[in-house]
Amino acid sequence: MEFKGSSVYDQSDFFSNYMKRRNRQDSPNNAIEGPLMYELIGSIQNKSILDLGCGDASFGKELILQGAKNYTGVEGSKQMVEAARSNLLEQNGTIYNETMESYDYPKETFDLLTSRFAFHYVSDINHLFQHVNKTLKEDGRFVFSIQHPLTTSSFASKQTGDKRGNWIVDDYFHDGERREPWIDKVVVKYHRTIEQYFSALRQAGFTILDLREGTPKREHFSSEEEFVRRQRIPVVLAFSCVK
């Protein structure tokens, strides 16, 4: 059985196994993508923030504690929403149990829109970026990360959920659905080239300020072996944009 969007996170066994992996100190989320996102976002003092695919809202809690004016998270998985609302107890945050596609984007409302490792689950990125532009205030910032397209082009080298020792890059310029074996499930993702993301952002009215490929930094890793492994191929692609 295969799962699209956030539906896989409502599978209890997958959810618990994912959270264990996600919270590892040397996971790509914690050792590469997290530090990169904070660097690109910069100061969030008194900012109104929308986070698409917010997961358990640990990120949202951190943003609020660091001075964000308010935080709104959008998440399609019911299990993740429960975890997010628990994380945000007594915090100035709101969580909507909606998909990124079904959420009703209010016009010119937010100072900053973020998304972390979520847009590769969305089939129509052009439509989504137009919604993002609409909901940001003038000069609003848009900062997001995705799984690097080099790693979504082919999953031929990943036939199980185990740690990959090699990566096959194939069919790179053929965009569309990809089926990834992940934590004993099959998850549908959408592959696009870097150029396609760049063009979609420009067409939606954004100016791209920065693009990063998640260069590993030794100080963020507890394991030398994992640090060396992560230097082999980029696993993160991140954009910083302004409306």
What integer pLDDT is reported at residue 13 of this predicted model?
Answer: 77
For residue 95, give the 3-state DSSP assignment.
Answer: strand
Number of H helices, E strands in the chain: 9, 10
What integer pLDDT is reported at residue 141 of this predicted model?
Answer: 98
CA 24 to chain centre: 17
Which strands, in side-by-side order, build the sheet including 2-4?
2-4, 185-191, 176-182
Q: Which two tokens stand for residue 168?
A: 């096959």
Q: Please, which residues bridge with residue 177 across strands?
A: 190
Per-residue pLDDT of the chain (243 residues; tens, 9 = 90+): 666 656 677 676 777 777 777 778 888 888 999 999 999 999 999 999 999 999 999 999 999 999 999 999 999 989 889 989 998 987 889 999 999 999 999 999 999 999 999 999 999 999 999 999 999 999 999 999 999 999 999 888 776 556 777 888 999 999 999 888 777 778 899 999 999 999 999 999 999 999 999 999 999 999 999 999 999 999 999 999 999
Roughly what angle, to the nearest 10 degrees, separates helices 78-87 and 58-65? 20
* Residue at token pair 């847009």: 119
Q: Which two tokens stand for residue 159?
A: 């036939």
Torsions phi, psi of 170, nearest 5?
-150, 155
Strands (E), the chain: 2-4, 48-52, 70-74, 93-96, 110-116, 136-147, 176-182, 185-191, 207-212, 236-242
What integer pLDDT is reported at residue 70 of this predicted model?
Answer: 94
Q: Please, which residues bridge with residue 182 across strands?
A: 185
What integer pLDDT is reported at residue 180 of this predicted model?
Answer: 82
Q: Taking the model in full, what pTM does it have? A: 0.92
The secondary structure element, H or E, covering residue 17 is: helix 12-22
